Amino acid sequence: MVASDIDKNKEKEFVQEITAQEDDFSRWYRETIQKAELMDYSPVRGCIVFRPDGYEIWERIQAGLDRRFKETGHRNAYFPLFIPESFLEKEKEHVEGFNPELPWVTEAGGEKLEERLAIRPTSETIIGYMYSQWIKSYRDLPVLINQWANVVRWEKRTLPFLRTSEFLWQEGHTVHATEEEAREETMKMLEVYREFVENELAIPVIKGRKTPSERFAGAVDTYSIEAMMKNGWALQSGTSHYLGQNFSRAFDIKFLDKDNVLKYAYTTSWGVSTRLIGAVIMVHGDDRGLVLPPAIAPLQVIFIPVGPAKRRGEVLARLESLLSGLKEKGLRVRADDREEYSPGWKFNEYELRGVPLRLEIGPRDIENRQVTAVRRDTGEKLVIGEDRLPGEVERLLKEIQADMFRRAKEFAAAHSHRAQDLEEAAAILEGPGGFILAGWCGAEGCEQAVKERTKATARNIPFSPPEEMPHCLVCGSRAAHTVWFARAY
Amino acid sequence: MVASDIDKNKEKEFVQEITAQEDDFSRWYRETIQKAELMDYSPVRGCIVFRPDGYEIWERIQAGLDRRFKETGHRNAYFPLFIPESFLEKEKEHVEGFNPELPWVTEAGGEKLEERLAIRPTSETIIGYMYSQWIKSYRDLPVLINQWANVVRWEKRTLPFLRTSEFLWQEGHTVHATEEEAREETMKMLEVYREFVENELAIPVIKGRKTPSERFAGAVDTYSIEAMMKNGWALQSGTSHYLGQNFSRAFDIKFLDKDNVLKYAYTTSWGVSTRLIGAVIMVHGDDRGLVLPPAIAPLQVIFIPVGPAKRRGEVLARLESLLSGLKEKGLRVRADDREEYSPGWKFNEYELRGVPLRLEIGPRDIENRQVTAVRRDTGEKLVIGEDRLPGEVERLLKEIQADMFRRAKEFAAAHSHRAQDLEEAAAILEGPGGFILAGWCGAEGCEQAVKERTKATARNIPFSPPEEMPHCLVCGSRAAHTVWFARAY
């Protein structure tokens, strides 16, 4: 194969259609993320490679959250990857919840280990132990620490970004003198997640409390933000746990209080992971590929020269001067002036990659002292006067961000339904799909019945339900809660 | 024990002396980093916890390097933690070099694995495999990728930050069409390390090439920057490897070149790790504790109110107004106005923690419209007029940074010696210690003889030796190289 053939093949490969979302959403997702070079499969079962464009989305998520964590008084630290088996066993529910998913190191440095070491699935246990060493007095509280780390849960069925054996995340672990303060922290961080996910990822979410069966293993209460993907499925996008004294009793985190009494502390933990990358793709993507919110897009603007070869020099000169004006504004912008690819190929390519705004400039644009802009989210074409370019591009990016959030919100509203009974719920889920708001008596049996009949699970008990549902959708008795049900990743 | 007793104990604990560097440098180091709360020992053998102050130094190192990597065209990505055993075996020298240090996952998800998975000690193999999938044509080159990650090498003897079983690092992995380009990259990144370590960490280093016996397992050439600790020992502070075609042959990284010939690519890798935190401590610390360079100190300025209780309100009011002026400049400054600790206790505390500048304000200062400043590096006391405070503090921090580098450079020069033969080298190392410049014939036997007689190893063959040494210090024959020898961590 000669080089020019490779180019042709490459061109062919890129313009070839991806599966339509409507035909097979899951296939659309897998094809899009691999073709857009966000990720690739690795030779290790269930582990993916985060390629530069995928990883940069994560870097921007990290930067946005890290700033918010620090503004709310948290600091970062780093704890060991390995957790001795005996540590995991100290909290009964915790070990039962995570044991089936653990990989074990049994040999190291040429010797069999006396005690097996788990690769951390989460770090409550080892961090709890360290906290018990550090905390002596009420003066040492609160402890507000976060960790950015890789964690491993050996998953049977994996889906890139959403569920992989190794993934990247942050886990906040805090310790407080009182239940009230710990509960306040739990809610505060849930709100940090909501604000970030809605404002930067343009994804509307529902805040609420998990039902007991969906709680984090070892928590007293788990709260979540839930987002609706374009196929109507739910994605749990962040969780915040009030752990009560469960871990402080298991790990002996005690402090001498102001009243000279030795007390067990109250702890919380909260986390989001690289599954947020998957959420961005599944909420905003379309049949042409990714659609990235400007706030976290690695590249916000792609600038492409068009027109006949003989006027190329002139076009490139003008493009360069306009480009530097955009860069001065701090915009993430790049030109693609490669001659071996056609403008049409490039249009497809950057649409696939989800770049929010495309600028085109050709001989006619130069004559009219203008630039043609095309929005990725709507396909809308606009003509912008050269002299207004940097300001107008900034304005457009803000508008795209706001419009993407608004559309996602409208989509979620249009796919949210109320159901009075199980049959109605099943009919909705078999038909249009989406989220279902229903009453629930609080019995685990009724929750289980919903799952068996509809494959939907209780996502959360929303803080502000749009409507109170008076009867349990399964048994018809008085509802204790109003719950969002959905099929979920 | 009542709360007030705890406070007294805490005070006692902090003012108690740490071991003098002269008496036992290693003990001084261990005591200082634990008391200053940079780290703590974990229940997992050889693994430490990076506490917030220690981790924040690493975050600043990350930020400084990451900016430089991106400015030189690199992007970040993330590859799996696990490496299948068969992958490691593909490069013979590589597997021999790392095999004894590997931890192995043999069970996961409740089952015994068919193939053992190593926890990555470095990622040339798995990244090499992925590159072979991605690279087809010269148009795909160069590939310039970096990874921030945790790695594990099961060490027998560990020392916090310098040698731990798990540590944090970055590893750059690049692919090029030609040897020339790959060698240029190797040198470019070594220079990025030198510039960063000298300018931000205030640590002077020697750039040079490793002898064959000290090369990275699988490299054609390894280059390093070497720094001198305060006990005269060397610390390898960053390495850059030219890997030639060793890994591209092992992992089949081939590309179709412009001349239509399929060729093996040339690769490089380069890394620095959390041992840089150890270097900062061992180069700058003194008998009162840490001395942190302003560029990477978590806290640059501590502001402490002094004077009698009855004038406290007045002092705090003035302090607050001055503090906000400093914060506006973007300085990392905090006030410690806790009443339960004495000013003297606080002075010791922040000296131990290495805060570069201390400001004090009391009733007399207010009357004179001034602030008293004390430099951590020299102990020098200065009086600064209130109105000049923000500018003067900025200037002082720059001066401290420059002076720290200058003093470290003078120390290294004063502890660098020439030796004509082995006995002279041994006498220096038994006596004043430090680095020894000597001729070397190039024979591994002579290098080994130096190690056996003096416990010093060849650090590197400097690019610009201060003096050419004509004879091998061991055999006396004509020297092929001039080499720096030192005892090393």
- Residue of higher predicted confidence among B91 and A35: A35
Residues of chain B with pLDDT under 70: 1-16
Q: Which of B53, B62, B79 to mutate to test the interface with A (most CBs of A within 10 A)?
A: B79
Contacts of B42 in chain A (CB under 8 A): 79-80, 126, 130
Task: Show which of residues 317-336 on chain B sit within 8 Å of chain A, judged by CB atoms.
Answer: none
Residue of A nearest to B84 (CA): A44
Q: What is the mean pLDDT of residues A239-268?
A: 98
What is the per-residue pLDDT for B15? 47
Count of CB contacts below 8 A, A vs B? Answer: 180
Q: How many CA atoms lie within 13 A of A68 on its CB side?
A: 20
Percent of chain A with pLDDT strictly greater than 70? 97
Contacts of B166 in chain A (CB under 8 A): 80-82
Q: Is B343 on the interface with A (CB under 8 A)?
A: no
Contacts of B50 in chain A (CB under 8 A): 77-79
Q: Is B63 on the interface with A (CB under 8 A)?
A: no
Contact between B75 and A52 using a beta-carbon 8 Å cutoff:
yes
Q: Is B84 on the interface with A (CB under 8 A)?
A: yes
Q: Is A107 on the interface with B (CB under 8 A)?
A: yes
Contacts of A1 in chain B (CB under 8 A): 256
pLDDT surpasses 80 at A7:
no
State the first-to-last Cα distance of chain A, in angstroms, to the nearest integer: 42
What is the per-residue pLDDT for A418? 96
- Nearest by CB to residue A137, choosing from B3, B81, B87, is B3
Supply the DSSP string of B8-40, one letter for each residue.
HHHHHHHHSPPPPTTT-HHHHHHHHHHHTTSEE
- Rounded to two decimals, the ipTM of the complex is 0.95
What is the per-residue pLDDT for B155? 87
Contacts of A100 in chain B (CB under 8 A): 109-110
Q: Is A56 on the interface with B (CB under 8 A)?
A: yes
Question: Tens digits of per-residue pLDDT, B349-377?
Answer: 999 999 999 999 999 999 999 999 999 99
Contact between B166 and A81 using a beta-carbon 8 Å cutoff:
yes
Q: Pairing state of beta strands B357-361 and B301-305?
A: parallel
Contacts of B256 in chain A (CB under 8 A): 1-3, 6
What is the per-residue pLDDT for A361? 97
Contact between A52 and B76 using a beta-carbon 8 Å cutoff:
yes
Q: Which of B37, B45, B258 to mutate to test the interface with A (most CBs of A within 10 A)?
A: B45
Contacts of B80 in chain A (CB under 8 A): 42, 44, 47-49, 166
Contact between A77 and B55 using a beta-carbon 8 Å cutoff:
yes
What is the per-residue pLDDT for A16? 60
pTM for this prediction? 0.95
- What is the phi/psi pair of residue B298, to 5°? -55, -40
Beta carbons within 8 Å of A239's beta carbon, 6+ residues apart: A210, A216, A222, A223, A224, A270, A271
Nearest-CA distance from A468 to chain B in Å?
Answer: 41
For domain A25-284, say whether CATH 3.30.930.10 is its number. Answer: yes
Contact between A108 and B103 using a beta-carbon 8 Å cutoff:
yes
Q: Where are the domains of chain B?
A: 25-284, 301-396, 416-486
**CA-CA distances (angstroms) from residue B114 to A297, B57, B88, B111?**
40, 41, 16, 9
Reduced 3-state DSSP string for chain A: CCHHHHHHHHHHHHHCCCCCCCCCHHHHHHHHHHHCCCEEECCCCCCEEECHHHHHHHHHHHHHHHHHHHHCCCEECECCCEEEHHHHCCCHHHHHHHHHHCEEEEEECCEEEEEEEEECCCCHHHHHHHHHHHCCEHHHCCEEEEEEEEEECCCCCCECCCECCEEEEEEEEEEECCHHHHHHHHHHHHHHHHHHHHHCCCCCCEEEECCHHHCCCCCCEEEEEEEECCCCCEEEEEEEEEEECHHHHHHCCEEECCCCCEEECEEEEEEEECHHHHHHHHHHCECCECCCCCCCCCCCEEEEECCCHHHHHHHHHHHHHHHHHHHHCCCCEEECCCCCCCHHHHHHHHHHCCCCEEEEECHHHHHCCEEEEEECCCCCEEEEEHHHHHHHHHHHHHHHHHHHHHHHHHHHHHCEEECCCHHHHHHHHHCCCCEEEEEECCCHHHHHHHHHHHCCEEEEEECCCCCCCCEECCCCCECCEEEEEECEC
Q: Is A47 on the interface with B (CB under 8 A)?
A: yes
Distance of CA A312 to the CA centre of its chain: 42
- Nearest by CB to residue B105, choosing from A2, A103, A256, is A103
Contacts of A164 in chain B (CB under 8 A): none
Nearest-CA distance from B393 to chain A in Å?
Answer: 24
Angle at CA B34, nearest 5°, toward B30 and B36?
A: 120
Q: Is B40 on the interface with A (CB under 8 A)?
A: yes
Contact between A84 and B43 using a beta-carbon 8 Å cutoff:
yes
| CATH architecture of the domain with residue range A301-396 | 3-Layer(aba) Sandwich (3.40)
Q: Is A59 on the interface with B (CB under 8 A)?
A: yes
Contacts of A51 in chain B (CB under 8 A): 77
Question: Tens digits of per-residue pLDDT, B423-469?
Answer: 999 999 999 999 999 999 999 999 999 999 999 999 999 998 988 89
Contact between A81 and B152 using a beta-carbon 8 Å cutoff:
yes
Q: Using the Cα atoms of residue A252, residue A256, residue A257 and residue A263 in order, give the sign of their dihedral.
A: positive
Whether the domain at A301-396 and the domain at A416-486 fall into the same CATH topology: no
In the chain, the amino acid numbered B425 is A
Nearest-CA distance from A65 to chain B in Å?
Answer: 15
pLDDT surpasses 70 at A190:
yes
The answer to whether the bond into A305 is cis (omega within 30° of 0) is no
Contact between A137 and B6 using a beta-carbon 8 Å cutoff:
yes
Contact between A126 and B82 using a beta-carbon 8 Å cutoff:
no
Superfamily name with CATH number, domain A416-486: C-terminal domain of ProRS (3.30.110.30)
- Nearest by CB to residue A40, choosing from B58, B106, B133, is B133
Cβ atoms of residues B124 and B269 within 8 Å: yes
- Nearest by CB to residue A42, choosing from B55, B80, B107, is B80
Task: Show which of residues 186-225 on chain A sit within 8 Å of chain B, judged by CB atoms.
Answer: none
What is the per-residue pLDDT for A156? 87
Q: Using the Cα atoms of residue B199, residue B202, residue B208 and residue B214 in order, give the sign of their dihedral.
A: negative
Q: Which of A34, A49, A170, A261 to mutate to test the interface with B (most CBs of B within 10 A)?
A: A49
- What is the phi/psi pair of residue B362, to 5°? -140, 180
Q: What CA–CA distance (Å, rounded) separates B283 from B201?
A: 10
- Sheet (strand A75-76) strand order: A75-76, A143-152, A166-176, A266-273, A234-244, A221-228, A206-209, A457-462, A481-486, A435-440, A416-418
